[in-house]
Every structure is written in C-alpha cells, then in structure tokens.
Structure 1
Amino acid sequence: METSPQCVNNTASLSVFHETPLLSLSQDKISNDAHDKDTSPDKMYLGAREYYAEDGQVWTMSVVRKVQRQMLTEPTRCLEYLSVLGQPEFNRAATALILGRESIAIVENRADSIQVPGADAALFMAAQFLKQWFTITHPRPTTVYISEPCWESHTFAFHGAGFTDIRHYQYWDSERARLAIPQWLQDMENAPEHSIIVLHIAAHWPSATDPTPAEWKEIAEVMKRKNLFPFFFVTSLGLASGDLHKDAFPVRHFVTERFELFCAQSFSKNFGLYNQRVGSLTFVSRDNQSLVRIRSQLAAAAMSTWGNPPNMGAHIVVTILNNPAFFTEWQHSIRNMARRLMLTREKLSEELRTLGTPRPLNYISRQIGLYVFADFTDSEIEYLKKRRHIHLTSIGQINMSLINNQNLPYVARCINEAVQAAGEHPASAQATQPSLLAALPVSQILSLQ
C-alpha cells in the first residue's frame, strides 16, 4: 500500500516533540509571578529560600568573604577539572561534618561522601543507585516511604528513578499542631521489610518541626527491627538549633545502631552559597568492600550525569571546615543566625497572642530552622495576598529571616486579620486546607517541578 504524498507532508511538518505533554507551573513559581505583578508599594514576599539579614538583604558570612578574597589572590590556584567524585578533601570534611570525626563508621573505613551539585542532585543520584542495586538484594518491588507532608522533589526523584510503590508516612498532625509520632511509628510497623524511608532533618520541610532525640531513638528501634533503610535529607545543618552536633544527632545515632544508610546534604543555606550548588552524598555501608563497590557505581553515574562537579563553592566549604579559625568563626555565625530565627519566632508568637488571634499559633515558637509553618488555610493565604499584598509559598510558609523589627508588627496584624476573616466563614476555610497536607499523586508532583 502506497503512502499518499499528503500524509508524508503532514508527518514531515510535525515536530518530533509534538506529543510532549505540557506541565503546569509549580505553585511557588506562580506565587513568585503574582508578587512580581503586584503593583502595591507595600508588597512583600515572605517565601524566599535564602537567609536575609536585619536590613532585608541576602546575608553573606564574613568568613565566606575572607575565603573568596583568599582564592582570588592564590598564585598557584589551578582551574583544572576536579575528579569525577569531587575534591577528596571536601568529601572527607563533609563525611566528618555529618557523622562526627570520631564516628565508628569513619574509623572502620566504611563511610564516604561524593561531591554533588546540591542536595537534590544527591537525592536523584541515590534514588537511581538504589533502584538499580538495592532491589537486586531484595528482588521484589521496593517500597519508598516519604513524609506527609513532604518536599515535592522527594517523590519526583524516586518516581523518576523507576520506583512504583511510593507511600507516605504520617508526619504532621494538623488538628493538634504537632508531630504525629504514634501514627508515624505505626506506619513504620506496617511497612514491608527493606522499605526505603526518607527522613528529612534540620529542619523538616514544611513543618519546621523535628523529633526529639528520644523520639528518634524510638524511630530507629522500629526501623532496625523491620530492616528498613534510612535515607536522610539535610538542607541546613546547624540552622535548626545553632548546634551542629545536636542537628546531626539522628544520622549519628543511626550509625551507632549499625544501620547502612544514605545522606544527602546541602551547603547552600548554612554557608550562604545559594548559587554555587554545593552538596554531598554520604553513604555508610556494612564493610569496606561494600563501600568500594558503592563508590565505583556512583563514580560511573556521576561521569554520565555531570562529568565533574564545580569547584568554587566546594573549595570555600572545605577551606572553612579544615581551618580551625575559620571553622570557629563559621560556627559562631551559624549560632547567631539560629538564635535570631528563634528570637523572631518568639516575638511573632507573642505579638499574635497579644492581638488575640482567634486560632492559637503559639506553637510556631517551638519550630526550628529558616521557616515557620503556621498551617494556613488557602483562604488565609489568599487574604494575605489580595488584601495585604503579603505573598507566601504555596502552602503558606514564612521565611523568618525576612521578618525584622521594622515589619514584624505589621506582619502580625495582617496574619491576625487573615485568621479572623477565615473564622467568619469556617466552613469554606475548612474546605481549603493546603493541598500539600495530603499525600500528592505523582502526576501532581510532576506538575510542581
């Protein structure tokens, strides 16, 4: 049967990508666009990802500036490619930072890290590795558990790697405004053996609330008994409590309990290197032989993904971590940043209490890290945006570093008004709880990217 010239021409005129589906913009991109288009001189965007100083400008640590100046004047500085796994000194320093220099895993030579372009890159690479090799050890389809609510990139990474059984464990109890520890433990008890559990620490996104050390021990006990695999995700070590050791406790405890584990770590927020994309993927294995095999596979994956990681940000991080004077100065900056965030939370909570805000929000003073999670309804978020020109993230998080002595009273008044307005229509407010407080289907997660 001959093909008509018309059919040939029609086919030739089509793009080879004509069946590519169009994904919708992420909700936070829409929030940014709404802020940009807002013509009010009073508009504010409180959902930014960077740490801002009291003057409202993105803050750069003095110790980071020192190292940057030092780099510019180094006569022997070389611009050659790094190793595919990154700087060896950086990898050792990143491993020691999260595990502790005296960690039994380091002493026994069964822990290492590779340098990656940010924590999401570590998440992506580890998900690919686990899909290929973890499932060989356990040939049935492996289940992945992600917190509810969760960072949307977690689901995206594991779905993209080919995992089909992705479930949620209950993390946040909206009714009681606290961690859902009993439900979380029960979800772990019900999980199939050898499931992968993604654990976001220092501080959990979006709830800004982490388990206590005692609760982490309970979680580890259940996971050990059920042979569950921990995958830690750390975005801002030190900024949760101001204490590096305290923030790293969950990972270190699991290591002492002889878990094998992965840990994706970002250095963007705790070093202020937002556009340098500095991260690490740390892995702890049962023995050195397994460690060598893991490293070889990750090297091959890195070679085929980005070839060589960037140098500058990693050089700044390793210089600070390996120089005692710089390290002390960096720790001092971390403590001051965390202290300011905690104090601002307390001030905001007290201001809302003084205003008589109808819905109790005093729990935000107990939260940690860069953000506050007030569990706003969609109607409250919409009120703040439309009536007071205060723009938040899609689920209403507030970057606490953007709250300062000048704008705190105004922000508190606006939040109080929004909660009061929603209280006048409780039925509609209840119906518009933020969508991310429920488990999102993969299709919706993909549309958020």
Structure 2
Amino acid sequence: MFEPIERVPGDAILGLIQQFKDDPNPQKVDLGVGVYRDEDGVTPIMGAVKAAEKQLIDDEATKAYIGSHGDPQYGEHVLKMVFGAESAVLADKRASATQAPGGTGALRLAADFIASQLPGKSIWLSDPTWPNHLGVFSAAGLEIQRYPYVDAQNRLDFDGMLAALENIPKGDVVVLHACCHNPTGFDLSADQWQTVLKVLKDRELLPLVDFAYQGFGNGIDEDAYGPRLLAENLDEVLITQSCSKNFGIYRERTGCFIAVARDTEQMENVRSQLAITARENYSNPPAHGSAIVATIFNSDALYQQWHDELKTMRTRINDLRKKFVAGLEPHGLADRFAYVAEQRGMFSYTGLTEDQVKTLRDEHSIYMVGSGRANVAGLNDANMEYVCNAIASVVK
C-alpha cells in the first residue's frame, strides 16, 4: 500500500540545522534557527522559569487533563498580557482564550475555525510571511491570497499593502503581525495601525493577528498596540499568541487562540465551537508550559524577574542590530543595511539573494535560510566582525 508514496524534501530550516551540526568549521555561525541565543550562543532557561518549575515540582497535585480550553488561570493571564489589565474588552467579557499547543497550534485552531465556521472566506498573508503560515492554512483547506509587505528596495511597502487591503473582498480574513514581523522585522507604526484599522472597518475584513513575539520589540505594552487598537474598535478580531519566545519555553508548546466578539453572548457561541475544534484536533493542550506562565504571573517577585530578563534579551537584540550596521561601516555598507537597526525582533530580512546566502554557507559556514532571513540573536561579539566581513565579501 505504501508503494505510491513519494519522498518529499524535508523542512528547509530543520535541514539547515543538520547542515550546521555537520559542519566542522570552528567559525561556523547559525543565523537560521528561530530561537533566542545569549552571548555564548546558548538558548538559556530563564531564571524565573527555573524558579517556577521548582515550585511546580513541590506544589503540583495532579496530571489530569486540563480541558479543551486549557488552564483557566493561564488564559486569564494571557488575556491581561495581550489587552492590558484595565482593558474595556476584558471588562465587557468580549474575549475568549483557548490554550493551544504553541503559537503554531493556535494558528491551526484558527484555520480550522475559519474553515468550518466561515466557509468560502479567503485568507490574506503578507508577502513575505512566516513560511509555515502557508502550510498551516493550506492544510486546513483555506484559499490563500497575498498582499505586498516589502518593496524592491527591501523597505516596508506600506502603500502597496494598503492598496491591496482596500481591494480585498468584504468578509475575507487578513493575517497581520502584531510586532517583530517574521521574517522581515519591519513593524507598523502607530499611525499605520490606525490607517489599517480604517481599511478593515471600511472593507468589513476580519483580522487574524499573529502575536508570537510580545516583549521582543519595544516592550510588553508597546508591542500590543496593534491588537489592542483593533480589539477596542472592531466587533470581531482573532489573535494567535505564543509564550514560546518571551518565556523561552519553546519545547513546552504554550500558545493561545483568542477570539474577540461583539458581545458576551456572541463570544460564548464562538467559544463553544472552539472547544469542539480543539477536541477534534488535539483534545487537550499540554499543561506544563501554561503552569509555568501562570506560576510566574501569580508571583510578584517572579513576574518582575521575568520582566527584567525579557528586557535584557530585547535590549541585547536591539544592540546587536546597531553593532551589525556599525560593523559594515568600514566596508561602505552601513547605509545599505541601515534598515537592520530599525527592524525589531529576532529576525531581519537582510535583502541578501539566494546565491549570496549559498556563498555565505559554502565559503564561510554562515547559515541562514535562502530568503535571506537572519536570526539576529545568533550574532555575538565574538562572531560579529567575521560575519560582517563575510557579508561584505559576498555583496561586493
């Protein structure tokens, strides 16, 4: 029965990981994998997370299922983190939180919900976007369309984005990145969010906001500007959230799907459908990651520790961006790559071509995905000059 099954290429990023591991060059640099790294190239466990886990070992009383919507405490904390503790959306009980297996699980939950409850609606993705968006939404049977996001000069193409949004059929779904746009690092300003809001209203479009990097751009509240603006001014908003990055718990698969409705009754209707969708998909989400997050939020001391650690990570990444541009100045390339310092989050859309990326890998053992997306957190003081020299050589 398996004879007709063909072998397909593996995931590009996972393949890049293996190539990097097999490379004997002691100067090799990994700028491909999307995880935070410290100055020593390690993806650390946050001190607040370690302390929370120790507390859980002593206090955890059961390993029973946590239900299709997940841990209620976790959901409450995530809603407050996303919308703010004083949010009118929360006060009016318009938002529902359904815990999911990571941000990717939340996206699949959103995709299945849209496919089953909003049939016939296309979903619009930025060009470029996180590659797995295509896989997740396609697997759910949704028709995918694209709107421009980066222009030929490797700058945010807001005019092109706006023109496309203004022509999307009414009722379609638009995926927006709340902050730290993956893969480009180009984020919308407050004024641009206001303009997008107007178009969404006028065209009666449903926004699906991918919020995977809260706290990695400019701060917890600052990064939530877009989602909060939309939720406060639109009747219906979908948000997929992740704690993988800002808590450094990638392997614990801790995400959340948030649905904002016109009123409490409509929200409960949506919530009932989400329970069924989750049940048919993965039944119950994993509990350990959500317990870590809830434990941290339930302790003033742990919350402050986590907040300080996240700020350190954010500051380091933003400093690396500036150092990278400064490192290219001796090569006369600082102006060309100045946008890297303006971008936010772990990723940078460098503008390097696929051939240049291949040369960096083959001749310098510097690894990034073929699109030129680089994980800035893979840089450090020890490899910065090496990377800048290598990039200068392939660009020139």
Q: What is the correspondence of 1:407-446 to structure 2 with a 5 Å cutoff? A: 407-420=383-396
User: Shift of the alpha carbon at 1:289?
Assistant: 1.2
Q: For structure 1, which runs of at least 5 residues remain unmatched after alignment?
A: 1-14, 136-140, 421-449
Q: Partner letter of residue 121 of structure 1?
A: G
Q: Deviation string for 1:392-427 (max 9, x for gaps)?
A: 12322222222111111111111111111xxxxxxx
Q: Report the residue type matching 1:192 in the other structure.
A: P
In 2, distance between residues paired with 1:40 and 1:152?
29
Equivalent residue in structure 1 for 2:152, among 174, 178, 193: 174
Once the two structures are superposed, the pairs formed by residues 29-428 of structure 1 within 5 Å of their partners are 29-74=14-59, 77-135=61-119, 141-164=120-143, 166-175=144-153, 177-241=154-218, 243-357=219-333, 360-420=336-396
Paired AA for residue 255 in structure 2: G
Task: Kindly state the Cα deviation for residue 355 of structure 1 after the two structures are TM-superposed.
Answer: 2.2
Deviation at 1:186, TM superposition (A): 0.6
Question: Offset of 1:18 from its aligned partner?
Answer: 3.1
Find the aligned partners of 1:389 and 1:154 in 2 and give their Cα distance.
28
AA matched with 2:69: L
The C-alpha deviation readout for 1:361-419, integer Å capped at 9, x for no partner, is 11111111012221111121111111111111232222222211111111111111111
**Aligned 8 A contact 1:150 1:205 in 2:** yes
CA contact (8 A) 1:372 1:398 kept: yes
Whether contact under 8 Å (2:201, 2:234) holds in the other structure is: no
- Decide whether the 8 Å contact of 1:92 with 1:112 is kept in 2: no
**Rounded Cα–Cα distance in structure 2 between residues aligned with 1:410 and 1:392:** 15
| Distance (Å, rounded) in 2 between the aligned partners of 1:236 and 1:178 | 21
Rounded Cα–Cα distance in structure 1 between residues aligned with 2:373 and 2:122: 29
Provide the aligned length of Structure 1 versus Structure 2.
Answer: 396
Letter of the 1:142 partner, please give it: K
Q: CA deviation at 1:182?
A: 0.7
Question: How far apart are residue 359 of structure 1 and its match?
Answer: 7.7
CA distance in 1, matches of 2:353, 2:158: 23
| Offset at residue 348 of structure 1 (A) | 0.8
The 3-state SS of whatever aligns with 1:56 is coil
Secondary structure, counterpart of 2:251 in structure 1:
coil
SS at 2:66's partner residue?
A: coil
In structure 2, C-alpha distance between the alignment counterparts of 1:328 and 1:142, rounded to whole Å: 43
Tell me which moved more, 217-226 or 37-46: 37-46
Q: Given that residues 326 and 334 in structure 2 are in contact (C-alpha distance below 8 angstroms), is that contact kept between their aligned partners in structure 1?
A: no
Q: After superposition, what is the alpha-carbon deviation per residue over 1:309-343, rounded to whole angstroms, capped at 9, x for unaligned?
A: 11111000111123222222211111111111111
CA contact (8 A) 1:357 1:419 kept: no
CA distance in 2, matches of 1:34, 1:80: 40
Instruction: Give the distance between the partners of 1:419 and 1:183, measured in 2 at CA.
Output: 27
TM-score by structure 1 length?
0.85
Native 8 Å contact 1:359 1:419 kept in 2: no
Mean alpha-carbon deviation: is it higher for 286-295 or for 246-255?
286-295
Rounded Cα–Cα distance in structure 2 between residues aligned with 1:229 and 1:184: 16
5+ residue gaps, structure 2: none
> Partners in 2 of 1:200 and 1:328 — Cα distance?
27
Amino acid at match of 1:98: V
The alpha-carbon deviation at position 358 of structure 1 amounts to 8.7
Q: Distance in 2 between matches of 1:40 and 1:327?
A: 41
- What is the CA-CA distance between 1:354 and the residue it aligns to? 2.2
